Copies of this chain bind each other. A is one copy, B any other.
Amino acid sequence: MGFETLLMTPGPTNTPERIFKAMARPIINHRGPAFRELYRSILENLKYAFQTRNDVFPLTASGTGGVECAVGNIVAPGDKVLTIHFGIFGERLREAVVRFGGKPVDVSAEWGENPSIEEVERALDENPDVKAVATVYNETSTGVTWRAIKELGELCQRHDKIFIVDAISILAGDELPVDEWKVDLCIAGSQKCLACPPGVSMVSVSERAYQVLRENKHRPFYFDLESYRSFAYERMETPFTPVLTLFYALDEALKFLREEGLENRIRRHRLCAEAFYEAFDRAGLRTVSKPENRSNTVIVLWNPPGIDGEEMRRMARENHGVVIGGGAGKLKGKCFRIGSMGIICQPFVSRTLKAVFDSLSKLGYGFPEEPSKIISEVEGKLEEGLGRLPPLSL
């Protein structure tokens, strides 16, 4: 596949050659016809990726900029917001609410767990005056996917609350039909399951969200969704100079997604994640997530007792050219994180497993069974599963 170094961090992830080629296209005037054609193509294909008829705008900002956009458009000073958090990125979402002068009402869970729908329902009953509910779908710090977005969406609709979902590290890697699940503002990032370099985040906006944000005089200027809307509708342009190079990348990435098909992309992510989980389970490693909330895209494992995870990561990088993420926030030094995203495929899974298992072996970890046997069995099964999907043209 020609990846000298394999980037297995939970974003950025490996970028295929076709996207690098797209980024080499010349710089053009963002107020001219060629840009409008590019923008139109991106806007149309984003609707496909988000499974929505709502607007979806690409922003010149990375994921947290998308969060700032979604939160800042809705939350005015004094507004109460139900903030659901069970890891670093949920806490960031909460912090964004605070910065805009919002009053967070917290629903939280231990890291590795997720809250229950009942807790959210109770909090909504106790706080009928909240304006919005904000949650992370896939918590990149713990590898937990809270598969309750559909139920949360119904709950929000029943209670007439704006529903904000940070799906940065999961959109296109797991189910997320934005309209069907009634998400008002959904945030994604370029450098995750879309296999782009970092630098663009995308936000979808429902009609209900527009109605609310139009009333908010203090929404951010740079991230003003109303001006994104009017510039798109009236001129097919962005209100401010866009990060053109990454727009080229995103356009190519979305075409790539359509070629593969969203369902196939999700299935590929699932099969690769299952292969990782099966291999790690058999090797006796423990995930931070529980079996029922394991992420399709981010795999977070505790360092085995007595093993220095940082040393393992260094060995994987230096001896195998495989870059793995470290623990984040309060999990720093306690676990390691694998991003299984974008163009994840059997050779990447195998090479990553080899790198981790070999490094753990050298550090004295006792495997319950022969690591090479685990890898070859998992690999065979994965190959078979992926064989039923269309081949990727990178």
Per-position 1/0 for A19-43, Cβ under 8 A of B: 0100110111111100000000000
Inside 8 A of A64's CB, which chain B residues have their CB?
Answer: 221-222, 239-241
Minimum CB distance partner of A11 in chain B: B241
Contact, CB under 8 Å: A30 / B245 = no
Majority DSSP secondary structure for residues of A touching B: loop
Minimum CB distance partner of A15 in chain B: B27
Contact, CB under 8 Å: A95 / B245 = no
Residue among B4, B11, B23, B323 making CB contact with A32, cutoff 8 Å: B323
Tally of this chain's copies: 2
Contact, CB under 8 Å: B26 / A5 = yes
Q: Does A63 interact with chain B (Cβ within 8 Å)?
A: yes
User: Given the interface contacts A191-B241, A245-B23, A246-B245, does A325 sit within 8 Å of B100 by beta carbon?
Assistant: no
Per-position 1/0 for A276-299, Cβ under 8 A of B: 000000000000000000000000
Bound-complex Cα distance A95 to B222 (A)? 10
Inside 8 A of A219's CB, which chain B residues have their CB?
Answer: 99
Inside 8 A of A198's CB, which chain B residues have their CB?
Answer: 27, 30, 60, 241-244
Minimum CB distance partner of A168 in chain B: B241
Q: Does A220 interact with chain B (Cβ within 8 Å)?
A: yes
Interface size on A, residues (CB 8 A): 60
Q: Does A56 interact with chain B (Cβ within 8 Å)?
A: no
CB contact list, A201-227 vs B, under 8 A: 217-224
Q: How far is the CB of A64 from chain B (nearest CB, A)?
A: 4
Q: Does A101 interact with chain B (Cβ within 8 Å)?
A: yes
Q: Does A309 interact with chain B (Cβ within 8 Å)?
A: no
Contact, CB under 8 Å: A241 / B29 = no
Inside 8 A of A101's CB, which chain B residues have their CB?
Answer: 77, 218
Contact, CB under 8 Å: B243 / A243 = yes
Residue among B23, B99, B189, B222 making CB contact with A61, cutoff 8 Å: B222
Contact, CB under 8 Å: B24 / A7 = no
Contact, CB under 8 Å: A220 / B7 = no
Bound-complex Cα distance A245 to B224 (A)? 25
Inside 8 A of A26's CB, which chain B residues have their CB?
Answer: 4-5, 7, 15
Contact, CB under 8 Å: A221 / B92 = yes
Contact, CB under 8 Å: B246 / A199 = yes
Contact, CB under 8 Å: A199 / B68 = no
Contact, CB under 8 Å: B222 / A67 = yes
CB contact list, A86-114 vs B, under 8 A: 92, 95-96, 99-101
Per-position 1/0 for A50-92, Cβ under 8 A of B: 0000000000111111011000100001000000000000001
Closest CB pairs A-B (n = 6): A199-B243, A68-B222, A62-B241, A64-B240, A198-B241, A99-B221
| Chain A residues in the interface with B (C-beta under 8 A) | 4-5, 7, 9, 11-15, 20, 23-24, 26-32, 60-65, 67-68, 72, 77, 92, 95-96, 99-101, 189, 191, 197-199, 217-224, 239-246, 249, 323, 325-326
Given A64-B222, A72-B220, A198-B242, 5 more pairs with CB closer than 8 A: A12-B244, A60-B198, A96-B222, A99-B217, A199-B242
